[in-house]
Each structure stands twice: as structure tokens, then as C-alpha cells.
A and B are shown apart, each in its own frame.
Chain A
Amino acid sequence: EVQLVQSGAEVKKPGESLKISCKGSGYNFRKDWIGWVRQMPGKGLEWMGIIYPDDSDTKYNPSFQGQVTFSADKSINTAYMQWSSLKASDTAIFYCARYTNYFDYWGQGTLVTVSS
């Protein structure tokens, strides 16, 4: 069974750094793209970008380029997204999902709250 399990909710202050994770199981993790999707409070879904774990090739939505960094450790089937300096406007739920021309399996989401 394909599963993506994300790290738990985070509460951070503006300016702090953060790295959240997404661990895959039940399939060949390194050979399928993993995507990240943002959902701000009460809003729709936004495609942030994708990463190919086998070689860490990445494709960013220009709106998020430079704001977040994707990475992956294929040895432990885990993808990451990190911020170096959070802003209040980064408050959202972030989902990872396996991408095979569409997002067919999703993680449960990680709620990130940024507040002073």
C-alpha cells in the first residue's frame, strides 16, 4: 500500500527556519516525483513544485522559487521542504503527494503556523 506520512504540526516565529518531511512507503520512492502543495487558511490548492528523489531534480513554481527549498534523501525514502526565514504569510497546510502525471497519493498534511 502506497503511503506518504508527513511530519507533525509546527508553530514558529517569524524569521525562524523550518524543515518538514514526507516519508514514502509501499512503492519505489526514488523513481516517482514528489510534489508539494500549499493550502492557505480557507483557500484553494497551490502547486509549489516537484522533486525527483533519485537525482534530486527539482521544478519550482516561480512564485515559490527562492522562498522554499526541496530536498530528498532516497536512502530513507524521505522528501523535505525547508524555509530559511519564515513569514507570517507562510501559515498554511502543506501537503506532499506522489506525482505520476497527477497527484495520486497524498500525505496527511503538515500545518505550519507562523506567529509572533
Chain B
Amino acid sequence: QSVLTQPPSVSGAPGQRVTISCTGSSSNIGADYDVHWYQQLPGSAPKLLIYGHDNRPSGVPDRFSGSKSGTSAFLAITGLQAEDEADYHCQSFDRRLGFYVFGSGTKVTVL
């Protein structure tokens, strides 16, 4: 059971906007610890997508954006493309556990 809960799957048609939630608690996201997002294409290693809630590393398209509200964080993909079909993982720190945690992961399917 992950400390950070994500929906198992989300889907959308090309060009649509999809949002992935990452729900935590007052000991992680709600305690204002940074949330980071990773994209994992099929058969590949994860890749940093968003860091510190809403910052994109060089090379990541601005179709990807992050936000936070209360004890949840969100990853939005606008203008969905076939190449966005992947697993997405959130990550933060949990002060009660005393270490870093990943979300349960969300599979994005492009219809």
C-alpha cells in the first residue's frame, strides 16, 4: 500500500487534456515537501518529468505541468500525444516514515 495514492489508469484522446492526481497526507505533500513526477515509457527506465511541484527539466515539453493543493499534487498533460502513453509516478518525502516515497503509479493510455 503506497503512502501516495494515484489512480491506476487514465485515458484520453489525442489532443485532450488529462490530469493525474497524487494524494498524500499531512506528513508528506500536506507538510509542504516537494513533489516530483517521473515518466516511464514501456520497457524503459523512469525519467524526471517535473521537479519541485511545477518545474520542468530542459527538454521536457511545456505540455506537462505540475501543481499542488493541500495534501494532493497533480500532473496535467495538455495536447495529449501518442508518445505520452506511459506510466507516471509521483514522489515526495514522508516525515512520519522518515524517507522518500513514490506513488502507486498511473498508466496513461492514448485512445
Contact = CB atoms under 8 A, between A and B. Distances in A.
A44 B46 contact: no
Interface in A71-116: 95, 97, 101-109
A27 interface: no
Residues of B contacting A: mostly: strand
Provide the main secondary structure of the chain A interface: strand
Nearest to B55: A102
Contacts of A102: 34, 36, 48, 51-52, 91
B105 interface: yes
B99 A47 contact: yes
B102 A45 contact: yes
Residue from A46, A105, A106 having most chain B Cβ neighbours under 10 A: A106
Interface string B94-111: 000111111111000000
Interface in A39-69: 43-47, 49, 59, 61-62
A70 to B, nearest CB: 14
Contacts of B102: 37, 44-47
B64 to A, nearest CB: 15
B34 A101 contact: yes
Given A62-B97, A104-B51, 11 more contacts: A37-B102, A44-B104, A45-B89, A45-B105, A47-B101, A47-B102, A49-B99, A62-B98, A102-B34, A106-B45, A109-B45
Interface of A: 37, 43-47, 49, 59, 61-62, 95, 97, 101-109
Interface of B: 2, 34, 36, 38, 45-48, 51-52, 57, 89, 91, 97-105
